[in-house]
Structures are given as C-alpha cells and as structure tokens.
C-alpha cells in the first residue's frame, strides 16, 4: 500500500518508524515548516534519515501543493498529530481515503485540546479515535476507538505519554490492517453527544481563586504540562505543575500559602487544599516549588494575587 503520512513531533515520527518496520511503502511525508532558527520537526528528521521525500507547505490551500499531493498516487493518507487545517479535497485523493488520529472519544472534545478538556471538565474516562476526516472539525465517521480511565492524579501529560501516545500508534496500525482486510467501519458520529472546545491556552489557564477546589485542581492538571495553569504573585505570572489535592478544609482565604515543605507549596482553596510541586515563573524554567519559595522569601500567610 502506498501511504502518505501527514504529521509532526514525536508521535508522527513514531508512526513512521512503525510503518517502516512493517515494510509499508511511504511515498511522502508532510510536516510543518521548520521552527525558529531552522529547527526541523522530529518527523522530518526521521523521514530524511530514511530517504523519504518530505514536503513542508506553508499552506494546503495552494493549488500547486494539491497537484503535488495528487501526483504521489497514494492508496491511503494517515494523519498523525496534525494541527494545520487541511482542505477536504485532500482526503478523497487516495484510493482508500484518509484516516486521522484524535486523542478523545469523539464526538466529545472535538478541537485541538481534547486531552486537556477531558481533564479540565472532570471526565472519568477518555481515549482516542481513528476517524475518516471530512470538511468539519473532527466530525467524520469513526473507524475505531480505544478507551482509558482518567485517574484522580492524572494530568494531560500522563494521559498522553503513558497511554494515548503508545495506544494511538498501535491504533493507526490496527486501522490500516482493517482497511487492508476490507473491514474498516465508518460509524457516523452522534451529534447529540458532540462538544467542541477552543485550544487550551492562556485564555483558559488563568486560576480564579473563587472557584471550587475540584474545579481548580482539574484546571491545573488539565494544563499540565502545557500551557501551565497560572496565578499572579505580586503581578508576576506564575505557572503551577505537579499539583496534588488535599481533601481538608482551610479557613484561610483561597490563594493563601498555608505551608512550605519539601513536597511543595501548600495553598488554601475554596473547599480544600492544594500542594504545588513545581513552579515556572515568568523568566526561567520549571523549578521545585519549595526552592522557588525560598528564593522569593515566601512564607505561610503570604497570598497569591486575587
């Protein structure tokens, strides 16, 4: 089978590696343009190392880009972690069509941040979908799905790296097997269960200390590792990571530091407490919260801005 792979990052590179291990015929790889300073994407590096043609269009709306894509004469296109809008006319070019990986149980959590929102909204399960893309945003028929539980301490990072990344690679290969066998379903999504959320960025990552403890804890977990839920300390944006919930009521104002230990900064919430394990200030990288507190001279009774 002649396969085009569209993707990026470590996930795209891993899918390419596994496809080549199976001796699939990869006729072209599409990745985003190089990053700042000419830094290439891992998928691009992997493809070049294996002497596979790499294409990096600035936009997929260009007719010349579409013509080049058609000329690859593919049987199937696999979209493995794609954030660039791809026009629907690309999907029907391969003889078997196009399949796409999405890290949520579609139709729930359509959009670019499906894992984040499953955690932020307090879902007790999530998963992945391999679907046949159409002109909508994550609206095409489902080929297969895999489900996992969301634990009380899971973050977006733990769900992705421990589960949805390796499961997703396997699911892509399983989908190709179903297509080869002529048994790949096309299950129409139930619009009654559909949700769509915007990208999880700083527009949603701001900590409001007035909100309940459960809601804030889910926000912090859902924004870990990116973009990092944040609060302000003397006007400086401070991002929280590695949080743990403590089911213990405090009489202190939410956002007040209750204690500082080797485990992190203990904070009062509305209806509970929180330990923040790591901090990232505006300047510099992540650091242990206790170390940050020592550097800034923080102590019990200090408060984050409200």
pLDDT at 306: 84
72: which 2 tokens? 């690859």
pLDDT of 37 > 90? The answer is no
In order of 14, 150, 152, 158, 217, the CA distances from 79 in angstroms are 13, 25, 31, 23, 33
Select from 176, 167, 170, 122 the least CA-distant residue to 148: 167
| Strand partners for 128 | 146
Q: Are strands 272-280 and 236-246 parallel, antiparallel or unpaired?
A: antiparallel
Fold of the domain spanning 2-193: Rossmann fold (3.40.50)
Q: Which CATH number fits domain 213-296: 3.10.25.10, 3.90.850.10, 1.20.120.1730, 3.40.190.10?
A: 3.10.25.10
Q: Is the pLDDT of residue 35 over 90?
A: no
Q: Tell whether the model's pLDDT for residue 38 goes beyond 90.
A: no
Question: CA-CA distance, 286 to 280, in Å (whole number)?
Answer: 4
User: How far apart are the C-alpha atoms of 11 and 43, rounded to whole Å?
Assistant: 8
Band (7; pLDDT cuts 50, 70, 90): very high
What strand order describes the sheet that includes 54-55?
54-55, 25-30, 2-7, 76-80, 98-102, 125-131, 142-149
State the average pLDDT over residues 139-161.
98
Burial class (CB in 10 A: 0-12, 13-18, 19+), 42: middle
Any idea where the domains of the chain sit in the sequence? 2-193, 213-296
* pTM for the full predicted model: 0.96
pLDDT digits (tens, 9 = 90+) for 218-273: 999 999 999 999 999 999 999 999 999 999 999 999 999 999 999 999 999 999 99
208: left (phi over 0), alpha (psi -120 to 50) or beta: beta
């Amino acid at each position: 089978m002649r396969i085009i792979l569209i993707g990026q990052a470590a996930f795209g590179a891993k899918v390419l590696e596994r496809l080549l291990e199976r001796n699939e015929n990869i006729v072209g790889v599409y990745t985003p343009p190089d990053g700042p300073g000419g830094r290439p994407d891992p998928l691009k590096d992997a493809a070049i190392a294996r002497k596979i043609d790499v294409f990096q269009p600035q936009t997929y709306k260009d007719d010349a880009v579409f013509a080049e894509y058609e000329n690859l004469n593919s049987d199937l296109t696999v979209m493995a972690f794609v954030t660039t809008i791809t026009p629907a006319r690309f999907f029907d070019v391969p003889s078997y069509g196009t399949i796409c990986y999405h890290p949520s149980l579609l139709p729930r959590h359509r959009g670019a941040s499906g894992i984040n929102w499953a955690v932020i909204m307090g879902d007790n399960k999530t998963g992945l979908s391999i679907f046949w893309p159409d002109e909508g945003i994550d609206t095409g028929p489902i080929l297969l799905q895999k489900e996992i539980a969301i634990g009380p301490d899971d973050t977006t990072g733990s769900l992705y790296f421990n589960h949805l990344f390796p499961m997703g690679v396997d699911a892509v290969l399983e989908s190709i097997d179903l297509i080869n066998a002529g048994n790949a379903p096309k299950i129409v999504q139930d619009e009654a269960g559909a949700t769509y959320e915007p990208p999880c960025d700083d527009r949603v990552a701001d900590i409001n200390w007035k909100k309940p403890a459960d809601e804030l804890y889910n926000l912090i977990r859902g924004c870990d590792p990116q973009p990092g839920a944040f609060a302000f300390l003397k006007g400086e944006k401070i991002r929280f990571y590695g949080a743990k919930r403590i089911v213990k009521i405090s009489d202190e104002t939410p956002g007040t530091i209750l204690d500082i230990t080797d485990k992190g900064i203990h904070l009062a919430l509305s209806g509970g407490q929180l330990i923040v394990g790591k901090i990232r200030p505006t300047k510099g990288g992540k650091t242990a919260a206790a170390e940050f507190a020592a550097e800034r001279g923080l102590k019990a009774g200090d408060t984050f801005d409200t």
